Structure 1
């Protein structure tokens, strides 16, 4: 998969992201488009449940600002701060290419995720 790009939009603004080249990211693309409700967690990320579980690949514990991740098989995460998660870590889905600080606020947000042609 050569740099699939997605758009993540909400009432707070929108960002684009480049997805990684792994089976989990390819499976995410097959779900598109979808809308999910996301909530704030630990003032570092927005999290929400995907419409279906995704297969898991290698995990890592470190993440950077803008990392898109998968915590459990259907738990999508957008990190707006950098840090580290406990074991078993996250599956990295991709990286936001724009200013992800639009999500750096408390509360819930509804996001629409779609493929960019």
Structure 2
């Protein structure tokens, strides 16, 4: 499929995600705006927001990882922002399931 890079924000949830790496997440398409999948363990709760842009990495629930490939807005309670894809996100804009491997850039 391809490789993309992302920069993570500095919060407790993103720091916990880094400790899990490398991981592979089976992800499904949802609402033709995002890919969603479950992390092996929940991440800490941090402040949430409702708006997102294409490329946003986030959490819907404590272990529900999301990659948004379109911009939009979610209902309350919002999403935990983990980071943002720094390259092209159209790679995720396809129907069906995909496997996403997340690892440190140096691995």
| TM-score category, normalised to shorter length | over 0.9
Equivalent position SS for 1:24: helix
Equivalent position SS for 1:65: coil
Q: What is the match of residue 35 of structure 1?
A: 24
Shift of 1:14: 1.3
CA-atom RMSD, angstroms? Answer: 0.5
Query: 2:7 is matched with which residue: 6, 11, 18?
Result: 18
Q: Which has the higher strand share?
A: 1
CA distance in 2, matches of 1:20, 1:81: 19
Tell me how many residue pairs correspond in the alignment.
106
Say if 2:86 is the partner of 1:97: yes
Equivalent position SS for 2:24: strand
**Structure 2 residues without counterparts, runs of 5 or longer:** none
TM-score calculated relative to the size of structure 1: 0.89
Shift of 1:73: 0.4
**Structure 1 residues without counterparts, runs of 5 or longer:** 1-11
Deviations 1:86-107 (CA, angstroms, capped at 9, x unpaired): 0000000001001010000100
Equivalent position SS for 2:82: strand
TM-score calculated relative to the size of structure 2: 0.97
**Poorly superposed stretches of 4+, deviation over 2 Å:** none
